Amino acid sequence: MKTNGRSHPIDRFSRRTNTVIEQSLLGLGILMIGVVAAQVFFRYVLNHSLFWSEELARYILVWLTFLGASVAYRRGTHPRIDLFVSRFGSRGARAIHVGAHLVALAFFSVLVIYGAQFAYFVRLQISPALQIPKWIVMLVLPISGMVMILHAVAAIVSDLGEHTS
């Protein structure tokens, strides 16, 4: 949404947050490639397995998945069916988009609440190979949920702003 030629503060914050997450995803992706490549090298060349590499790669994949979902939501690249929406004209389509973002907002709120509860539930568990607390791994659930809430609010504000301008 633009006000006097400038985007809304929520949209700017959403965009900046998304940029930080995209850069983090790049780093996590490179780290995962390095961990998996090291495991393959150690296992097949040196005939010695790194006992921690599979667990680390799995945890990185969990973080990549949930943070990647927030980036996809911000970009609007999740699968959707536009055939139905296009039949209602621009005003109806805008209302459907706002409704969809409100439903997503409810889902993301559930992700934050239950993700935080789950992270708290596993707070005393230690991962077998890495010996790190499992709550660190599960913290991605409420974090990604909060980021997606931010993106949903920014999308709603943007859609409603287009209506008033």
Structure tokens that stand for 100 in this block: 């969809």
Show the domain range for 103: 2-164
Residue 55: predicted pLDDT: 97
**pLDDT (tens digit per residue) in 50-64:** 999 999 999 999 999
CA dist., res. 153 & res. 48, Å (int): 50
The domain tally of the chain equals: 1
Residue 2, beta-bridge partner list: 7
Higher pLDDT, 161 or 111: 111
**pLDDT (tens digit per residue) in 107-159:** 999 999 999 999 999 999 999 999 999 999 999 999 999 999 999 999 999 98
**pLDDT (tens digit per residue) in 13-48:** 999 999 999 999 999 999 999 999 999 999 999 999
